[in-house]
Copies of this chain bind each other. A is one copy, B any other.
Amino acid sequence: MAGELPESVRIREVGPRDGFQNEPEVIPTGQKVRLIGMLADAGLKRIEVTSFVRPDVIPQLADATEVLAAIEPRAGVTYSVLIPNRKGLENALPHRDSFHEANFFLSASETHNRKNVNRSIEESLKDLKGTIGEASSAGLRCEGVISTSFGCPYEGEVPPQRVFEIARALSGFGCEEVAFGDTTGMANPRQVRGFFERAREELRGVELTAHFHNTRGQGLANVLAALEGGVNSFESSFGELGGCPVPPGATGNIATEDLVSMLEEMGVATGVDLEKLIEASAAAQQALGRPLGAHTLVAGPVDWAPRR
């Protein structure tokens, strides 16, 4: 295994979008900006900072333009914005100088896509072709995110070939990177390793990113399997914020501090200062007024142990 593991990985922190969006209370813009600053201070180089969604549907992110205006540009830090549709792109483009990447999404299962965005996969792809093309033309790096890539809570198994087909389409539209989401935590390590070994063959030239949920406690085991399958790009959320709690009460995204702890302990460099990251999660915990689920936030890094 040792020889097969990458020396370093890239991590996209999705908490400020995926996490804050799922909070029952709207987090004040100043708090968001402060936490994003702490994440950048911790060494996270890719941060999804907000989304241009309809403010009446997701009031938690209604301050997207204010967030973009307030976050500090940092050398080497890439800010990305989730773009749900053409209208979202229209609203985002005037603020184009404040971010670098646009992230687009659809589901690999018809039922999930219809429940999520009320259209067929074909309709989604048709729309994405235009919006991704436009974003690319505006000089934005584009990432496509494919939800339910490892299974659908309504349809069950999702054929990998279908997922690769969608990924190829997104790549053709202009996405340099495609993320595969285990939206409701149905993936297992054997499946994940096989999936990415094939994806590397089928999607040459595309950056492949794994986005796991810890719904059944297997999030980091799936990260290990993805590493072994050749993946070196991951998405996660500080504090274990956000994700898709299906069923209600289930945990969502893997926690960035747990991911960083495991990788660094294995000798895989993340560029992240774990203690500073934990400070950011502790600050979020205080701001939200409730304990967050990240294990390493509670336990501390392995090398803290002797001091406790």
Q: A residues bordering B, Cβ < 8 Å?
A: 1-2, 5, 151, 153-156, 184-186, 188-191, 193-194, 214-221, 223-225, 228, 246-247, 249-251, 254-255, 258, 261-262, 265-267, 294-296, 298-300, 302-303, 305-306, 308
11 extra A-B contacts, CB within 8 A, seeds A1-B225, A216-B302, A247-B299:
A1-B189, A5-B190, A154-B306, A184-B305, A185-B295, A188-B266, A189-B224, A190-B265, A216-B261, A217-B219, A221-B224
Counted per complex, copies of this chain come to: 2
CA distance A246 to B250 in the complex (A): 24
CA distance A258 to B267 in the complex (A): 26
Contact at B247–A188, with CB atoms within 8 Å? Answer: no
Contact at A216–B153, with CB atoms within 8 Å? Answer: no
Contact at B151–A298, with CB atoms within 8 Å? Answer: no
Contact at A1–B188, with CB atoms within 8 Å? Answer: no
Contact at A189–B225, with CB atoms within 8 Å? Answer: no
Given A2-B190, A153-B308, A225-B224, A262 and B216 contact (CB-CB distance below 8 Å) = yes
CA distance A251 to B267 in the complex (A): 24
Contact at B217–A296, with CB atoms within 8 Å? Answer: yes
Contact at B217–A262, with CB atoms within 8 Å? Answer: yes
Contact at B298–A250, with CB atoms within 8 Å? Answer: yes
Identify A262's interface contact among B1, B189, B251, B255, CB under 8 A: B189
Given A186-B302, A221-B262, A302-B216, A246 and B308 contact (CB-CB distance below 8 Å) = yes
Given A214-B217, A302-B151, A188 and B295 contact (CB-CB distance below 8 Å) = no
Across-interface contacts of A225 in B (CB, < 8 A): 1, 224
CA distance A218 to B194 in the complex (A): 21
Contact at A216–B247, with CB atoms within 8 Å? Answer: no
Contact at B190–A156, with CB atoms within 8 Å? Answer: no
Closest chain-B Cβ to A98's Cβ sits at a distance in Å of 33
CA distance A228 to B156 in the complex (A): 27
Contact at A1–B190, with CB atoms within 8 Å? Answer: yes
CA distance A153 to B305 in the complex (A): 5
Across-interface contacts of A219 in B (CB, < 8 A): 217
Chain B residue at minimum C-beta to C-beta distance from A190: B266
Chain B residue at minimum C-beta to C-beta distance from A219: B217
Contact at B247–A300, with CB atoms within 8 Å? Answer: yes
Across-interface contacts of A255 in B (CB, < 8 A): 217
